[in-house]
Each structure stands twice: as structure tokens, then as C-alpha cells.
Amino acid sequence: MFFFNSCSLFETREPELPNLDAGIIPPAITPDILIDNFVNSINNKNIDGYSDCLHPVSFSFVPSSNILSLYHSFFDG
């Protein structure tokens, strides 16, 4: 009983004001920018920026028509 009365375990806290600059993240074209984005997303508590650092956009390679005609069996899969 003393434990529940002595601390503010079940009290609500004041909400934090939103950080409007937290959503602007430059594209990570170098490793330094990626690390900066990662650190800034953690400091700003920006979950979207954090997940973008861990789950990059997938890229696909589309060969030119000349290469595709020469090596079509290689690019079938």
C-alpha cells in the first residue's frame, strides 16, 4: 500500500508538443547521411525516420534492350 501511494506510477504525464521539423529527412546517399538520419530520428522520436533507416527502398535493375537480347536467359528469373 505504501508503494502505490509514494510514487506517481498511475498518474498521467503532460503530453509532449509535436516536433514539426522531425519529418524532414534528407535522402541517404552517403553512409554519413544515413548515420545522421538514424541519430536524428532517435533524438526526435520519429518512428518513420527510424524505420526508413532500417528498411531502405528496394531497387530493381532493368537492363538495356541490347543486353537483354544477348543475355535473356540470365534475366528471366
* Phi, psi (deg, nearest 5) at residue 30: -135, 160
Predicted local distance difference test score (pLDDT) of residue 32? 92
Predicted confidence (pLDDT) at residue 63 exceeds the cutoff of 60:
yes
Predicted confidence (pLDDT) at residue 3 exceeds the cutoff of 60:
no
| pLDDT tens digits, one per residue of 21-56 | 656 778 888 889 889 988 988 888 888 888 888 876
pTM of the model: 0.46
Predicted local distance difference test score (pLDDT) of residue 61? 80
How far apart, in whole angstroms, are the C-alpha atoms of residue 77 and residue 63?
13
